[in-house]
A and B are shown apart, each in its own frame.
Chain A
Amino acid sequence: NAGVTQTPKFQVLKTGQSMTLQCAQDMNHEYMSWYRQDPGMGLRLIHYSVGAGITDQGEVPNGYNVSRSTTEDFPLRLLSAAPSQTSVYFCASSYQGDEKLFFGSGTQLSVL
């Protein structure tokens, strides 16, 4: 049981490049979400999903897209990376109705 798996662990992009951060969970959790963490700040919610085919915006959704085609996977897409998106990104999941989130180990992204 791997829990929540994020890839890659580190990524460097140039401004304007696109990429997808991968997140997969093997706990059959309905709920999945993406957070970003910036120095001196708490985690801020980007997007979340309450089940396959359903996504919604969080606190800071601009510049990011998500989709949820399966229960297991919840990729986060940056269509045109900007330096302001330099951050550490965490994926999390939980059973629907259970507020306790399980987090992945994070992806450290730098946009130059």
Chain B
Amino acid sequence: GESVGLHLPTLSVQEGDNSIINCAYSNSASDYFIWYKQESGKGPQFIIDIRSNMDKRQGQRVTVLLNKTVKHLSLQIAATQPGDSAVYFCAENISGYSTLTFGKGTMLLVSP
């Protein structure tokens, strides 16, 4: 089965709200995690990443949190905008060969 999964397949929020997308992973040997955004008809785009020696990393309007104790990863998007509507994937890396293992994705729908 999938070693990386998501709790919510669809998340609907209002513009301006904060969004939280969750991801569970099962391999404690994973040392790198990454979030991608995929808009309809396009390839995945990098959002933010984090290594296992960190608990939190912030970018522009996005924050990734890593809880190694419960093998949980989350992506927080502040002040969500309609342009944030997309499918979000988490992925992990174990081998170090850039061979990412992806979760199934969560669709984020932002209403104006």
Contacts and interface: CB of A to CB of B under 8 A. Distances in A.
Interface of A: 4, 31, 33, 35, 40-45, 48, 50, 58, 90, 92, 94, 96-106
B104 A42 contact: yes
A99 B2 CA distance: 19
Interface of B: 2, 4, 32, 34, 36, 41-46, 49, 89, 91, 93, 96-105
Contact of B96 (A58, A97, A100, A105): A97
Given A42-B103, A44-B102, A100-B49, A106 B96 contact: no
Given A33-B98, A42-B102, A99-B32, 6 more contacts: A44-B102, A94-B98, A97-B98, A98-B98, A101-B98, A106-B42
Given A33-B98, A99-B49, A105 B43 contact: yes
B108 to A, nearest CB: 16
Given A99-B32, A99-B34, A105 B42 contact: yes
Nearest to B89: A42
A102 B89 CA distance: 14
Contacts of A50: 97
B97 to A, nearest CB: 6
Contacts of B103: 42
